[in-house]
Structures are given as structure tokens and as C-alpha cells.
Amino acid sequence: MPKVRRENLPPALLQHLLDRIQERKITARQLMELARWLDGEPEVPQGEWYKRFSGMTVCGDGELIKTFLLPGKNPKGMRID
């Protein structure tokens, strides 16, 4: 299984993620929770997946994080812990 990629993201994807952080008012505390999870070099499935955090859901596809959702939005893919 792939690990979440943290470096060398496609520029358009990085900009998309930054835009979603700003638009959805993702807090520094939430980003720190995400960073701690990423520090563990988590393995994720091929295809679509999601992980719930306090106040947000991170959605990805394979090794890439694709977007952030707020509570009440339905993610696609396999839920990971």
C-alpha cells in the first residue's frame, strides 16, 4: 500500500489544497492533527480513501491528499483509521 506523499505535490493540487484550507477555515489545530498523522507515514489504499479528524475529513486518492471536507459532507472511498 502507498504512503501519503508529502513532497513534490503537483502545483495545481497544492494550490487546490491551500484554497480549501482557506475557504473551509481549517484551523491551525486541525492542521497540526493532520501533521501528526502524516508524521507516522501512514499507508493508504490505492484508489479513493478518507480519514476523519476533529472538524474535518481528509480525502485522498492513492498517495495524494485531494481535498478537505467539513462535517456533514459525505466522503467517497474507503474509510481509514
pLDDT score recorded for residue 22: 97
pLDDT in tens, 12-30: 999 999 999 999 999 999 9
> What span, in angstroms and rounded, lies between the C-alpha atoms of 68 and 79?
14
pLDDT digits (tens, 9 = 90+) for 33-68: 999 999 999 999 999 999 999 999 999 999 999 999
Find cell 487546490 and name the residue: 16
Reported pTM? 0.92
pLDDT confidence bin for 1, thresholds 50/70/90 = confident
The domain ranges of the chain are 11-70
| Predicted pLDDT at 26 | 97
User: Among 61, 68, 70, which Cα is nearest to 21's?
Assistant: 68
pLDDT at 60: 98
